[in-house]
Structure 1
Amino acid sequence: MNQLQTDVLVVGGGTGGTAAAIQAARRGAKTILVSQWSMLGGMLTSGGVSAPDGNELAAFQTGIWGAFLRELNHRQPQGLDNAWVSFFTYHPQIGANIFADWVKAEPNLLWIPEQQPLEVIKQGNKITEVRFNSCTIHAKIILDATELGDLLELAEIPYRWGWELKDQWQEPSAPIVLSTLMKTTPVQAPTWVFIMQDFGENQIAPEIDIPPIDTPELFTNAWKNYDIESFLNYGRLPDNKFMINWPIQGNDYDQNLDRLIGSSSERLQFWQESFYHSLSFARFIQTKLGRRYGLATGIFPIENRPNFNTNPDILSAFALHPYYRESRRIQGLTTIREQDILPIQNGYTASLPSSPPFQGGWLPSSPPF
């Protein structure tokens, strides 16, 4: 097994981990970025959410985030304004290619894809090494950027998971007591995102297979209060494709969520059920809207991923992993609360300006990131 040493090790290739690795390398630190998947970008790429809930982000176009938006605009000639859930949508592979190109351009940064953290080595209360499938890496600084905080579990570092009541941190929006839903759903339900396509009038898309677990009755009122165009245009992408991440009786999956932080076999079982749930929703959509609509092919890699279906045309329409909205949370030396960061009464943050200096559109120029 390879033994590597570096200044900074970032475990996890989502947007946060990738940005941290890039900036560490640019500051002169020898950096290694290890990702579980072949696509960098996490929820924005390998997780399939290429139509982020982002209309409120129009004014925040600086730093790496702003550079990402401008590069998307450059690489996707069809434009970014396609859906109503966000002011920008794009093909997932374009986003992943941007992150990969940035990482490969940094001489101080080594990216090792398709590796899972298996063990950590500690000296006192500090993690000094992480063992992966094919290598062990020793680093002065190690960042846990995994989607679910997996290094916390491996290192037996105390963490929080789930709801916190108002009397714990006095956060204004926290619940006073747990409702029945909160007790059964400790975190927001993940979603296995998939991409569909309008094949065109008088065209017949391949029929979507019936999954081993098929539950069409769960989706009966999915777009009850929306017309079909609104449903499809929620996450519309270029080239008559649609990101399906539908929150109303759609492909969110909330059954026994604690399995996500259980054993590897428990997480895999949750993944499989979530995948079948989304496949069932895809078939429901096709059944209701007609064979003009089907799964888009060739969107995601089919190698080195959970293989819950043997049909590559189905597999390549589904993200590599579920879209997570919450993770383990470390019990740190200091806890940042809602009132520490939001401009609320009795809080510690100044009110937002009444006239923002910039509203919408693309910044004509921005400082280097």
Structure 2
Amino acid sequence: MRLSAVPSLALLAFLSLAMPEAHAQAPTVPAPFELTRVLDIEKRRAVTVAVAPSDVSLSCEVLVVGGGLGGVAAAEAAAKRGFSVVLVEPTRMLGGQLTSQLVPVPDENSHVEKEPGPSTKTYRALRQAVRDYYNAQPGVKRGAGKNIGDCWVSRVSGLPTVWEKAIRDRLAPYEKSGTIRRILMRHQLRSVTRYSGQERINYADLADLETGKITRVGCQFLLDATEDGAALALAGSPFRLGQESLAEFGESLAPETANPSWVQSFTYCFLMDWQAAPGPILEKPAEYDYFKSLGEYTLDYIYRDKAEPYSVRYKVLGRVEANGRGYLPFWTYRRLIAASSFMGKTSPVGDLALINWRGNDFHEESYLDKPVDEQVRILERGLNFAKGFAYWLQTECPRDEDPTKLGYPEMQVPADGWAIHPYIRESRRLQARTTLTQNHLRSPDPAAKWGTVFPDTVGCALYAMDIHPSKGEPPLLSVALPYHLPLGAFLPASGPTNILPAAKNFGASRLALASARMHPTEFLAGEIAGSLAAFCLEKNLRDPSAVHDSPALLAEFQARLKAQGVMLRWDEILAP
């Protein structure tokens, strides 16, 4: 497990360092390193950054880097309190997991729709907007918009474009008022610079991925909502990466030896629609035979939620009985649109399904901490691995009606059916004043209904600890109790004081973040960070730790969160 206050040698290589250039501004010191080339993750290429001075300069009170779920939640939370915001996103879509990463059927818990409930009121309103959209469409059966895909992994579904519209609609009033000063799409963070002699960030340089030109944004707070904790690394904030050992936190599920290379696998998700007649077969991708030899191109799924792992061989359209229970079809698992949700239609013809399965879950290599060219190569391999699974489904998947017959050419990948960003499950994690661990998600009391209740609790979450392994690592799926997020997990133990984690990068062990990485908790993390930055600006606090250290300020901040629909304790949600 890597603890880093400054970049490791591998990270230095990943950052493609140039010598720091001198800046004309006297109040600042150069960034510890600046990228000469940055990753364009959407187009899987390296972009050379212009060495000329920045073309545009902006200023804001809150700079949010990353337009995923945490980022949009953070931007709205800060703008709602009247503070100026600049939001930055490297792809052409806001929404992260729900949009560019193509997981628009969110992984949630059974309490998420309660009022009051876990995550946030804003998150539930976003979900409801998607339902309202589909319920208002002509031809939709009464109530079918609640889960237009009739999928069984989630209670809500919908197209990525519909989710993004719901997000854009929420941000639009703040853009119109000018509180959100700019949303910089297709921009990647290049460097972060501090005030001279201070542990505070002054500005960040952002590279336009189409031109390579730089936009400099001055800010009072920088919120890292990136998918991989890149802003923490560039700012020199201490972070964790990889698997901790048993000795570090006493987590029973941790291995005896730490392993910094264990970073959860990433996935290129894709869409398939079901056509009435067979369609064209995809081109066989590079390395297909090798990828197939890994044994992941299968409808078998190994469950590890009991003492002994067990395997289920799913059918594409049929139900399977195994281990004393029934298992629904592979096709409907993450179906986005069910034809049967519309009047006079039946599935599967006309269905649109999301494929996020073991067959496109890339274990072979992680792109984190790699040079830019290596990142591009690894991402391309990950995409080819996913294309191999789509090819296998069309050509070699056993058919339900006769397993000796192979392939479902009825399944077709639409022209825009590939994710523009891989689904990222693991990020660098802040070394914080408090580290959330497995032990806070469990209890030695078998009658316990929830995990540790922190005095500085700022939110509620729940999901299993679910690790999609790296190469050579055993998978893990282990239950968790409903648990709480402490404010201390959002406060740096050292380093810059005005950079805050706003996604799946707050202070937690790898095991704890294997639960907290899911859609509603990432959104919650962003809303906490955005609200904390706004609270500090209102109180003229330069260091957010002051909120943690003052009982009066902490109580006021917790009351603020609760008033905006962030529940702080599970005993306020669960019935006695």
TM-score by length of 2: 0.54
Comparing 260-269 and 54-63, the one that deviates more? 54-63
2:427 aligned with 1:327, yes or no? yes
What is residue 98 of structure 1 aligned with on the other side?
166
Q: Deviations over 1:47-73 (max 9, x none)?
A: 001122335334447511110111010
Residue 272 of structure 1 is aligned with which of 380, 394, 397?
Answer: 380
Contact 1:127 1:142 in 2 (8 A): yes
Aligned ranges for residues 165-314 of structure 1 at < 5 Å? Answer: 165-171=245-251, 173-178=252-257, 186-200=262-276, 203-214=277-288, 215-219=291-295, 222-224=298-300, 225-229=313-317, 230-238=329-337, 239=339, 240-247=351-358, 250-257=359-366, 259-287=367-395, 288=397, 289-296=407-414, 313=415
- CA drift at 1:205: 2.2
Query: Residue 349 of structure 1 aligns to which amino acid in structure 2?
Result: V
2:77 is aligned, of 14, 18, 23, to 23
Q: What letter is aligned with 2:430? A: I
- Structure 1, unpaired ranges of 5+: 297-312, 354-366
Report the Cα offset of residue 282 of structure 1.
0.6
Q: Quick check: 1:164–1:174 contact (8 Å CA) kept in 2? A: no
1:336 aligns with 2:436: yes
CA distance, structure 1, for counterparts of residue 99 and residue 224 of structure 2: 19
The unaligned stretches of length 5 or more in structure 2 are 1-54, 208-213, 301-312, 318-328, 340-350, 398-406, 455-480, 484-562, 566-576
Give the conservation status (yes or no) of the 8 Å contact 1:55–1:87. no
Instruction: Kindly indicate whether residue 232 of structure 2 is the aligned counterpart of residue 152 of structure 1.
Output: yes
* Percentage of matched positions with identical amino acids: 29
Q: 1:352 to 1:325 in 2, by over 3 A?
A: closer
How far is 1:176 from its partner?
Answer: 3.9
2:66–2:227 contact (8 Å) kept in structure 1: yes
Cα separation, 2, equivalents of 1:22 and 1:43: 17
C-alpha contact (below 8 Å) 2:71/2:225 kept by paired residues: yes
2:356 maps to amino acid: N
Residue type at the aligned position of 1:142: L
Equivalent AA in structure 1 for residue 169 of structure 2: D
Q: Distance in 2 between matches of 1:220 and 1:42?
A: 26
* Post-superposition CA distance 1:314-369 (Å, at most 9, x none): xx21111111111001112332334446555496329979xxxxxxxxxxxxx976
Could you say if the C-alpha distance between residues 185 and 87 of structure 1 is closer, same or farther in structure 2, counting changes exceeding 3 Å? farther
Aligned residue for 1:54? 108
Rounded to whole Å, the distance in 2 between the matches of 1:326 and 1:7 is 28
Change (3 A) 1:251 1:99: same
3-state DSSP of counterpart to 1:270: helix
CA distance in 2 between counterparts of 1:186 and 1:328 reads 12
- SS state at 2:331 partner: helix
- Equivalent runs, 1:53-72 vs 2, <5 Å: 53-56=107-110, 57-59=112-114, 60=117, 62-72=120-130
1:14–1:147 contact (8 Å) kept in structure 2: yes
Compute the RMSD of aligned alpha carbons.
2.5
2:126 partner letter: F
Query: Contact between 1:260 and 1:266, CA under 8 Å: does it hold in 2?
Result: no
- Tell me what 1:309 maps to: none
Aligned partner letter, 2:248: Q
Indicate how the Cα distance of structure 1 residues 186 and 176 shifts in structure 2: closer, same or farther if over 3 A, else same. closer
Match of 1:359 in 2: none
**Separation in structure 2 between the aligned mates of residue 139 and residue 111 of structure 1, nearest angstrom:** 15
Could you tell me which residue of structure 1 aligns to residue 221 of structure 2? 141
* Residue of structure 1 equivalent to 2:189: 117
For residues 182-238 of structure 1, the C-alpha deviation after alignment (integer angstroms, 9 at most, x for no partner) is: 9596122111100011012xx232321222232334456621311112111111111
C-alpha contact (below 8 Å) 2:242/2:260 kept by paired residues: no
- 1:308 maps to none
Query: Mapping of 1:353-368 within 5 angstroms?
Result: none
Query: C-alpha displacement at 1:170, in angstroms?
Result: 2.3
Aligned residues between the structures: 329
CA deviation after TM superposition for structure 1 residue 116, in Å: 0.3
Shift of 1:92: 1.0
Residues 1:87 and 2:155 are matched in the alignment = yes
Aligned to 2:555: none
Q: Relative to structure 1, is the Cα distance of residues 144 and 55 closer, same or farther in structure 2, using a 3 angstrom cutoff? A: closer
Give the conservation status (yes or no) of the 8 Å contact 2:241–2:427.
Answer: yes
Closer, same or farther: CA 269–23 of 1 in aligned 2, 3 Å: same
1:25 Cα deviation from its structure 2 partner: 0.3
Please say if residues 95 and 163 of structure 2, whose CA atoms lie closer than 8 Å, have aligned partners that are also in contact.
yes
User: Could you say if the C-alpha distance between residues 174 and 101 of structure 1 is closer, same or farther in structure 2, counting changes exceeding 3 Å?
Assistant: same
What SS does the corresponding residue of 1:117 show, helix, strand or coil?
A: strand
CA contact (8 A) 2:244 2:259 kept: no
- Summarize the Cα distance change of 1:344–1:74 in structure 2 as closer, same or farther, 3 Å threshold: farther
Distance in 2, matches of 1:12 and 1:352, equals 28
Q: What's the secondary structure of 1:228's corresponding residue?
A: coil
